[in-house]
């Protein structure tokens, strides 16, 4: 991973973004690896989907204060914001942005109880995501809202009618 960033830094002379997605890549970029990457190039932002809520404070304690930290795990949005994340960059935000924006503003204004109420209201959706996956869930909600995100790529398949009906009810209940 470090060699990749060394090579990119030789070719690109601007700050970079890091996307830590261990579920897809099989590699988790630890706080120490982030710091090593910072030695070979400037990281402006990271979207961290590792689901490790302690990573934010660990990075900040190591002195990486110039990098914006975006939570990349839907169900970690509130805890990440409360731990100091700069924002959330989750697939589900593209179909239900207002709720995440309300959580963000509530945390930033110190109204953690309002943020917690919204977050708790999202739990059925997060359970659904854990069962059916974020891509299938997000695409299905987009379809329900009349905003197609295109076909599912193999090997993913569309959710069946009964599952979409259950998802529709969850979406109706949270909005």
Per-residue pLDDT of the chain (175 residues; tens, 9 = 90+): 999 999 999 999 899 999 999 988 999 999 899 889 989 988 899 999 998 888 888 888 887 677 899 999 999 999 999 999 999 999 999 999 999 999 999 999 999 999 999 999 999 999 999 999 999 999 999 999 999 999 988 899 999 999 999 999 999 999 6
Return the HEC string of 1-46: CHHHHHHHHHHCCCCEEEEECHHHHCCCCCHHHHHHHHHHCCEEEE
d(CA 53, CA 71): 9
Has this prediction a pTM greater than 0.75? yes
Question: What are 86's two structure tokens?
Answer: 């700069």
Helix axes 161-174, 134-144, angle to 10 degrees: 80
User: Facing residues of 17 across strands?
Assistant: 45
Question: What are 143's two structure tokens?
Answer: 């379809």
User: Facing residues of 43 across strands?
Assistant: 16
In degrees to the nearest 10, what's the CA dihedral of 43, 119, 108, 72? 0
3-class DSSP assignment, residue 167: helix
The per-residue pLDDT for 57 is: 83
Question: What are 98's two structure tokens?
Answer: 């207002």
d(CA 27, CA 82): 26
């Amino acid at each position: 991973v470090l060699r990749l960033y060394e090579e990119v830094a030789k070719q690109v002379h601007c700050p970079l973004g890091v996307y830590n997605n261990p579920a897809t890549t099989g590699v988790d970029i630890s706080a120490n690896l982030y710091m090593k990457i910072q030695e070979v190039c400037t990281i402006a932002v990271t979207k961290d989907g590792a689901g490790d809520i302690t990573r934010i404070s660990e990075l900040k304690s190591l002195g990486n204060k110039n990098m914006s930290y975006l939570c990349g795990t839907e169900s970690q949005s509130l805890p990440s914001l409360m731990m100091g994340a700069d924002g959330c960059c989750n697939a589900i935000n593209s179909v239900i942005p207002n709720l995440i924006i309300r959580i963000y503003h509530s945390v930033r204004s110190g109204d953690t109880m309002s943020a917690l109420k919204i977050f708790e209201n999202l739990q059925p959706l997060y359970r659904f995501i854990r069962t059916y996956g974020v891509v299938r869930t997000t695409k299905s909600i987009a379809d329900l809202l009349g905003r197609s995100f295109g076909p599912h790529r193999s090997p993913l398949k569309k959710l069946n009618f009964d599952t979409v009906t259950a998802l529709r009810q969850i979406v109706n209940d949270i909005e």
